[in-house]
């Protein structure tokens, strides 16, 4: 167990909180470079695959303490072992300007997402089915056609990426986040 700081342990969730799998180096740096080009504001955020808080399972429900969340995650993480994923292609969520790297089908990732969503933490509902992805750009303004084309055909990491770290992030605003807790998968 790794706490970002004991100050967070008794803090009750009062903002968007996500549970994610961190993408390690060197893939993280490559994805960060795409963010710097296409969405500089997001380039400061960690590179990850969201397990809860986006699609499939909603945000962590408010009122729970970080300590409670961490205890549930510690138990769930014992059943999740490190695994590999590969990115498939760049896509855009319909009706949005959210561009992401779609993850190729991964039974291990689906299993991890299910175990986390059923581990005892309370979550808000999500209107969307789970879509394993890593966000590249979440644009406030529409990209010009040339930039859209460039983004859809970036040379993303194609090699298998080992996922072995769960993190809990709080986003008090759209351009920054606080690490509340980290757990290494074993």
In 3D, which of 163, 56, 181 has the Cα closest to residue 113?
56
pLDDT single digits (tens) 60-108: 999 999 999 999 999 999 999 999 999 999 999 888 888 999 999 999 9
Whole-structure pTM value: 0.90
**Phi and psi torsions of 115, nearest 5°:** -60, -40
Q: Note whether 115 and 80 are within 8 A (CB).
A: yes
User: 24 is written with which tokens?
Assistant: 């390690």
The structural domains of the chain, ordered by start, are: 2-178 (3.90.1140.10)
Exposed/middle/buried for residue 166 (C-beta within 10 Å: 0-12, 13-18, 19+) = buried
Model confidence pLDDT, tens digit, residues 107-116? 999 999 999 9
């Amino acid at each position: 167990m790794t706490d970002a700081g004991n100050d967070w342990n008794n803090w009750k969730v009062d903002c968007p909180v996500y549970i994610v799998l961190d993408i390690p180096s060197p893939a993280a740096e490559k994805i960060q470079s795409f963010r710097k080009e296409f969405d500089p504001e997001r380039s400061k955020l960690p590179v990850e695959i969201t397990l809860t808080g986006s699609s499939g399972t909603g945000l962590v429900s408010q009122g729970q303490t970080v300590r409670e969340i961490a205890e549930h995650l510690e138990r769930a993480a014992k059943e999740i072992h490190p695994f590999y994923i590969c990115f498939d292609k760049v896509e855009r969520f319909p009706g949005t300007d959210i561009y992401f790297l779609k993850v190729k089908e991964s039974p291990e990732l689906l299993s991890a997402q299910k175990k986390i969503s059923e581990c005892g933490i309370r979550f808000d509902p999500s209107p969307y089915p789970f879509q394993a992805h890593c966000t590249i750009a979440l644009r406030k303004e529409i990209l010009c056609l040339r930039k859209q084309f460039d983004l859809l055909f970036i040379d993303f990491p194609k090699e298998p990426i080992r996922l072995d770290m769960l993190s809990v992030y709080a986003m008090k605003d759209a351009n920054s986040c606080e690490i509340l807790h980290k757990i290494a998968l074993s």
